[in-house]
């Protein structure tokens, strides 16, 4: 079986979203949509889309020639009027290993909320053979960790399972998102907005990928990608 390439994975995820809701591309400044370094050692591409339920969902693609790195990050930001979780999938491929992160970021921890959004994902994860997680979970992400979270360093023999898990999660998350209704309680709305703001701040200021990119494409351009494209 031929492994799915990262661009194919990205396109398949967008197609999965289109099964449940109309998708509209969001135009980006060309300086951000394609940002190659000198001699194209690092290549960066950014994509943004929106749907009636999502303020934005995006894809960040970057590849490095040496050492060989091929990464895809996709983040789904629901409208703050919905109490749906933010959804993230990340896959970094090297010659022999995969760094993988899959998670639903929930603004509420009430049992009913967790039962609706997180428990079905956790049950899906448990149906897979156990993942031998070589855990490198960053400290700043610990407060976002849930039973459905999978993060770590994996050998390539689990790549097919990791890929399948993304789509299994999306097949649970997307129908629930499409059916989600607007929140009307002012206090709950305020908590959702604060959660979204804090999450975006964490991605903008704590994700190490921005620092790595800045070495190749410049600090300001890397900063704009994280402030304008990925969040």
What are the domain boundaries of the chain?
Answer: 6-229
Least confident of 4-8, 94-98, 102-106, 210-214: 210-214
Residue 188 three-state SS: helix
Distance in angstroms (rounded) separating the CA atoms of residues 217 and 124: 39
Supply the pTM of this predicted model: 0.94
Tell me the pLDDT tens digit for each residue of 143-176: 899 999 999 999 888 999 999 999 999 999 999 9
Q: Mean pLDDT check: name the lowest of 17-31, 179-193, 211-225.
A: 211-225
Architecture of domain 6-229: 3-Layer(aba) Sandwich (3.40)
Nearest CA to 127 among 184, 91, 172? 172
Neighbouring CB atoms inside 10 A of 66's CB total: 6
Which of 24-28, 79-83, 95-99 is predicted least confidently?
Answer: 95-99
Statement: residue 141 has pLDDT above 90:
no
The predicted structure's pLDDT at residue 134: 65
Peptide bond into 167 cis (omega under 30): no
Q: Pull the structure tokens for residue 138.
A: 């960053």
Mean pLDDT for the chain? 91
Q: Which residues pair with 213 in a beta bridge?
A: none
Statement: residue 135 has pLDDT above 70: no
Residue 38 pLDDT: 60
State how far the Cα of 108 lies from the Cα of 122, in Å rounded to an integer: 17
How would residue 1 be classed by pLDDT, with cut points 50, 70 and 90?
A: very low
What is the 8-class DSSP label of residue 142?
Answer: G
């Amino acid at each position: 079986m031929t492994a799915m390439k990262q661009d194919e994975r990205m396109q398949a995820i967008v197609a999965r979203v289109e099964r449940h809701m109309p998708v509209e591309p969001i135009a980006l400044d060309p300086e951000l949509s394609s940002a190659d370094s000198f001699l194209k050692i690092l290549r960066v591409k950014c994509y943004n889309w929106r749907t009636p339920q999502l303020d934005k969902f995006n894809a960040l693609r970057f590849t490095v020639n040496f050492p060989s790195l091929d990464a895809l990050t996709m983040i789904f930001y629901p409208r703050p009027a919905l109490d749906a979780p933010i959804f993230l999938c990340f896959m970094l491929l090297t010659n022999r290993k995969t760094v993988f992160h899959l998670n639903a970021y929930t603004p509420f921890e009430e049992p009913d909320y967790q039962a609706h959004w997180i428990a079905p994902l956790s049950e899906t994860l448990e149906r897979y053979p156990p993942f031998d997680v070589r855990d490198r979970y960053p400290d700043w992400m610990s407060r976002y960790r849930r039973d459905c979270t999978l993060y770590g360093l994996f050998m390539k023999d689990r790549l097919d399972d990791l890929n399948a898990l993304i789509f299994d999660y999306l097949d649970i998350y997307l129908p629930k998102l499409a059916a989600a209704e607007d929140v009307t309680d002012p206090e709950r709305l305020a908590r959702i907005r604060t959660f979204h703001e804090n999450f975006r701040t964490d991605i903008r200021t704590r994700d190490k990928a921005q620092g790595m990119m800045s070495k190749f494409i410049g600090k300001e351009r890397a900063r704009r990608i994280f402030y304008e494209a990925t969040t």
